[in-house]
Structure 1
Amino acid sequence: MAVIQKGFLILIVLSFTAVCIANRHGAEVDDNEFAEFEDLGDEDEFEDGTVELEGEEDHFFDDDEFVDDGEEEEDEELEDEFEEEDGEEDVAIEDEDEFEHFKDNEEFENFEGEKPSRAKGAVPDLEIANVPVNFSNNWNSYYLEIMMLAGIAAYILNYVSGKSKNQKLATAWYNCHRELLEANFALVGDDGTQVETPDTVKLLKESENLYCLWCSGRAFCEGMLVELKFLKRQDLVSVLAKVMKPGSDQLKITVTMNKEDMESVVLFLGKKRNTARMQKDMYDLSLYCNEKRSGEKFGLSDSYLAIGETGEAIQGVLDSKVSNCLSENESMLDYLHFSDQYCGLKPTADEEQPTELPTTKKVLIFVFNVPGGGGATVKDVEAMYPMMQLVMYCIDKVKRFRLSKDGKHRADQARKKVSESFQKMAHAQRQEAAQLRKEEKRKAEKEKLMNEEDPEKARKLEDKQYKKDMRKRLNPSMKQVKVRVS
């Protein structure tokens, strides 16, 4: 009986599905679900109450096909039959009221004219218009990308313009001072790689804002290094920073004097704030400069200060001709640094202190500011010609300058004192190192004594160490002298 009941259920499901598929175009459906079975009167009824069905439904009552073990296979066959029904999905029967909203013409604004009436329950043919995308209202979505592209474009334009301007200023300076340099030096622009100087000399480009020029072959000096330090006009960040903190281009000239052509002179002339900073950081200025002179004595403003080893050296080197040139071009002067004991910056507290006097050399350092500040032009660069003439004059002046006998003695004593202080410092460091070695040795002996397992041997080591300590306490200055008997 269970098999028969299952067959009835499957038959009912198939019949209902067939009715739905046949009625997918809106045909009316009878609510009587068992109307199909009302025409079974012609069928024979057996005595036990069973009915014999005719047609294709007989196979549903075959005992060989409906077994309990094949229920899953039957479900799969039913699913395949549903998929083979014209490849269409199940259609749900809807009431006619659900399609009333299609009657409203306002919802179909894109429809031209009146459409012919459709069958009841039919789905209308909707045409989707191809509306072009309007990007004019969507630019706000790309403001970050626009800002980034604008920044990159501004950086590239600033790089090109700043680079070309620095190169233009460097070329203008060289063309203006070329004759003066060639008149005082045998080699102008010698980089050490060429045997002969070419007719057209170019500045050595270290970076987009730094140009160098090496000159050699002049009396009283080994050579001269010219450094043109321009503002970083090619860097947009530096340009924006200079708006908050203005700066100017600089010309730095370093002349290395011969050892026998410079007297014992150490002096510095610059702004008061700059002078205090340099005296704190530079070795030679912190060790030798004790005398101070106001800038008013050299025709400069009160904001300038001169420091030196002796007043005689300051007055002797910065004579009236140098003072007049500096007073006339005060805006160009940054600082002057003349020293026969130049050894660079002092080591910081984190760095190891030197035990020997650093290697020194005799130099004349000139640092000038290019007029015009950040907006320097070719005319401003050419206006620095008098300062280059001052450099040539100072080379000859330092060569001719000689200290008095008393000044020479004081200078020699100061240098001797500095040398002795370095020797004492080196001796103190050596003693400290020796003391550390002794402490490490004593610590090793104590560890050896503590680790000794043999009590007798440990006692002997302890007695030996005790006698050694007693001898050092009783005779601290007594030295052991070993006499070799032949």
Structure 2
Amino acid sequence: MAKPPFASPLSPPIRSLSLLSLLSLLLLLNLSSFKSLADSHFEGFDADEEDESFESLHFSDLRSPPLTQSESPPPSPPLTQSEPEDVPAPDLKPIRDSDLPTPSQDPLKPSSTSFDFWDEDEFEGLPVVEQPSESVGVSRDAAGPSDPTPDVKPAASTDKPTSRSYTVEIACLSFLVMFGINFFTGKRENENIALAWATKFATKDSIFEKNFSLLGVGEGDDSPLLLKEGQTVFKFYASGRRFCQGLLATMELKSRHDLISRMYNLIVPCRDEITFEVYMNDDAMDDVIFAVAKKKAAKGMQKEVRDLQRFAGLLSPPGGRKWVADELAVISESKEVAGDLITEAVLDQVLGDKAFEKFGKGFISMHFSDQHSAAHKKMLLFKFALPDANHMADMTRLVALIPYYIDLVGRYKLSSQARTKTEAARSKALQEAYKELHNARQEAIQKKKAEKKRMLEEAEAKLSAESLRKREAKERARQMKKAMPKMKMTRAH
């Protein structure tokens, strides 16, 4: 096989020598670059200068500073946010021998060997020296006038005081003041209305003084006319008249003393009312059930009042005669009673069309019955609205109806036909009432029996088997004895 023309046997050694020379060259280059980098960190420093400066230093020239507390600077005050910290510049003034304390002034001077490497700026290497309390106190007294502590001004507060709101307290206090003022003023208004009514109708030469022999709640001339039962309720009593046992007038006024009620009455208005209850004698009043009221109130009375619901009904206006005003309705047991009690005088004075528009503004209702559910069965009821204290004379004709109807009802007698009808209705009502009472009693008895039976069953459930057997035997013997024929025993002579 033929070899290439340029190949020789010395070619491998030549290659190895060239590689070694290349590696050595690279190593020299790396060493030179590393040396240049190291020299760059120490530029400007000369070894000879360092040796000379080090030899020029003498450790004997270093002196220790005074260690007594009298010459030590006072502690710096705490820094606040308002005063930025001022860092004092270090004092580079050299220490002189004249400034150093003498041995008599500094008895506790430490040895110089412990301050060989003490640095003034760093304060490192200082030994801890404990001094007795007496020397500390003396040094403080001596340093007091020479080194006064600086006054530290407190930092000014940047927060402004917030003003507190007293709106709720002012509102509550104002409401209480208004409530108190309204209480006394409203109380006085109600008292003035009651006194104005009593002055008009219960004093000398008044309607009640002429028709009753005794006025007021007590006996004697000094007895009070009115009895106050509350801030809104006043009562007046009169007695000593034929056909009746007495009269009780009750004034129910608005709650003017209550601020909340007064505000409510502005939205839902109401009126002051007075009610007259006339207690008739049993032998003076016949079987009469009669009522007159405004149409809306009359319908409610006919449904709610028991005697009107059971015995009476709404009457239509009769033809051919004068009748009450269109705003009023009549409830009666019979037309005869209604026609006899609504007289021409009453229509002309109050209940007629023309008179009612002028004098009947305060009329609410009147109700006569011998079947009242109260303690007094035979009673006349009148209900009127009270005017204010300055217009009390407007209800004079309404008050005049009371003595008029006392005499009219006391003298009134039913016809035989009307009496028969009323007696039949009352006997029927009495039977119904008796049935209702009997049914109520039977229900009570049945309820009592059921309760007793339930209790016996519960007691039997708690008994033992032997007790039940004895009880059953006893009950069986009782039943057998009851089933046996009865025998009559006679004695032989």
Q: Verify same fold: TM over 0.5.
A: yes
With over 3 angstroms needed to count, the CA separation of the structure-2 counterparts of 1:395 and 1:41, relative to structure 1, is closer
CA distance in 2, matches of 1:39, 1:81: 16
Select which of 320, 341, 345 maps to 1:317: 341
Q: Deviations over 1:227-285 (max 9, x none)?
A: 22222222211111111111222221111111111010112211233223333333322
Q: Which amino acid aligns with 1:300?
A: A
Aligned positions of 1:377-392 closer than 5 A: 377-378=389-390, 380-392=391-403
SS of 1:204's equivalent in the other structure is strand
C-alpha distance in 1, partners of 2:471/2:259? 75
Q: 2:111 aligns with which of 40, 62, 86?
A: 40
Tell me if the contact between 1:292 and 1:305 (Cα under 8 Å) persists in the aligned partners: yes
- Among 185, 188, 201, the alignment partner of 2:212 is 185
Unmatched tracts of structure 1, length 5 or more:
1-13, 46-54, 61-76, 88-118, 345-358
The equivalent position to 2:380 in structure 1, one of 331, 349, 364, is: 364
SS in 2 for 1:285: helix
Structure possessing the higher relative contact order (Cα contacts under 8 Å, 6 or more residues apart)? 1
Deviation for aligned residue 1:215? 0.6
With over 3 angstroms needed to count, the CA separation of the structure-2 counterparts of 1:445 and 1:248, relative to structure 1, is: closer
Answer yes or no: is the 8 Å Cα contact 1:212–1:228 preserved in 2.
Answer: yes
Describe the shift of the 1:339–1:485 C-alpha distance in structure 2 as closer, same or farther (beyond 3 A). farther
Instruction: Return the alpha-carbon distance in structure 1 between the equivalents of residues 416 and 458 of structure 2.
Output: 63
After superposition, the Cα gap between the structure-2 partners of 1:411 and 1:266, relative to the gap in structure 1 and judged at 3 Å, is: same
Alignment check: 8 A CA contact 2:248 2:277 kept: yes
Q: How big is the shift at 1:206?
A: 2.0
- Contact 1:172–1:382 (CA under 8 A) maintained in structure 2: no
Change (3 A) 1:244 1:56: closer
Within 5 A, what are the aligned runs for 1:135-150? 141-150=165-174
Cα distance in 2 for partners of 1:295, 1:126 equals 103
Using the aligned pairs only, state the percent identity: 25
Say whether the 8 Å CA contact 2:69–2:139 is kept in structure 1: no
Instruction: Determine which of 420, 426, 436 is the counterpart of 2:437.
Output: 426
Deviation of 1:469 after TM superposition, in Å, equals 9.0
Larger Rg: 2
Which residue of the other structure, out of 164, 173, 195, is the alignment partner of 2:197? 173
Structure-2 residue corresponding to 1:156:
180
**Distance change >3 Å, CA 40–CA 287, structure 1 → 2:** same
Quick check: 1:342 aligned with 2:372? yes
Identify the residue that residue 468 of structure 2 maps to in structure 1.
Answer: 458
Q: 2:275, 2:381 within 8 Å by CA — same for their partners in 1?
A: yes
Task: Say if 1:122 and 1:341 are closer, same or farther in 2 by CA, change over 3 A.
Answer: same
CA distance in 2, matches of 1:443, 1:335: 53
3-state DSSP class of the match of 1:218? Answer: coil
What is the CA RMSD across the aligned residues, in angstroms?
A: 4.7
Q: 1:54-80: per-residue Cα shift (whole Å, max 9, x none)?
A: x995x89xxxxxxxxxxxxxxxx99x9
Q: How many angstroms apart in 2 are the aligned matches of 1:442 and 1:470?
A: 23
Shift of 1:170: 2.0
Counterpart secondary structure, 1:259: coil
Opposite residue 142 of structure 1, the aligned amino acid is Y
> After superposition, what is the alpha-carbon deviation per residue over 1:89-121, rounded to whole angstroms, capped at 9, x for unaligned?
xxxxxxxxxxxxxxxxxxxxxxxxxxxxxx9x9
1:298 has 2:315 as partner: no
SS in 1 for 2:271: coil
Please list the CA deviations of residues 351-386 of structure 1 after superposition, one character each: whole Å capped at 9, or x if unmatched: xxxxxxxx5521111111134xxxx341x2121111
Aligned pairs, how many? 373
Instruction: Check conservation: 1:291, 1:310, Cα contact below 8 A.
Output: no
Contact 1:449 1:461 in 2 (8 A): no
User: Aligned equivalents of 2:450 and 2:268: distance in 1?
Assistant: 55
1:326 matched to which residue of 2? 351
Question: For the residues of structure 2 that align with 1:429 and 1:317, how far apart are their CA atoms?
Answer: 38
Give the aligned residue type for 1:147.
Answer: A
Q: After superposition, where does 1:198-347 map in structure 2 within 5 Å? A: 198=222, 201-293=224-316, 298-302=323-327, 304-324=328-348, 325-327=350-352, 328=355, 329-344=359-374
Aligned to 1:405: 416
